[in-house]
A = this chain, B = another copy of it.
Amino acid sequence: MTTTLKNKHDAILAAALDLFADNGFHCAPISQVAAMAGVGVGSIYRYFKDKDELVHAVFAKVDDSLLQSITTSKDPTLSGRCEFIHLVTALIHYLDTHPQEYKFFEQYYNSPYGLENKRAKFLQENIADKSNPFLNIFSDNKNCLRQDLTLPVYLAMTFGPVSFLLRESLSGLVTLDEAMIQQTAEASWNAIKA
B-contacting residues of A (Cβ < 8 Å)? 24, 26, 106-107, 110-111, 115, 118-119, 122, 146, 148-150, 152-153, 155-157, 159-165, 167-168, 171, 173-174, 180, 183-184, 187-188, 190-192
Name the residue in A118, A150, A173, A188 with the highest tally of chain B Cβ atoms < 10 Å from its Cβ: A173
Q: How far is the CB of A12 from chain B (nearest CB, A)?
A: 23
Residues of B within 8 A of A187 (CB): 146, 149, 153, 157, 191-192
Collect the chain B residues with CB atoms within 8 Å of residue A118's CB.
171, 173
How many protomers of this protein does the assembly include? 2
Q: A168-B152, A173-B122 are in contact. Are A188 and B157 (CB under 8 A)?
A: yes
What 5 pairs between A and B have smallest CB-CB spacing? Answer: A160-B160, A160-B164, A191-B191, A160-B161, A156-B161
13 more contacts with CB within 8 A, not counting A110-B167, A122-B168, are: A118-B171, A146-B187, A148-B183, A149-B187, A152-B180, A153-B161, A153-B184, A156-B160, A160-B160, A160-B164, A163-B163, A163-B164, A190-B190
CA distance A162 to B164 in the complex (A): 10
Cβ–Cβ < 8 Å partners of A157 in chain B: 161, 184, 187-188, 191
Contact with A171, one of B115, B171, B173 (Cβ below 8 angstroms): B115
The interface residues of chain B lying within 8 Å CB-to-CB of A180 are 150, 152-153
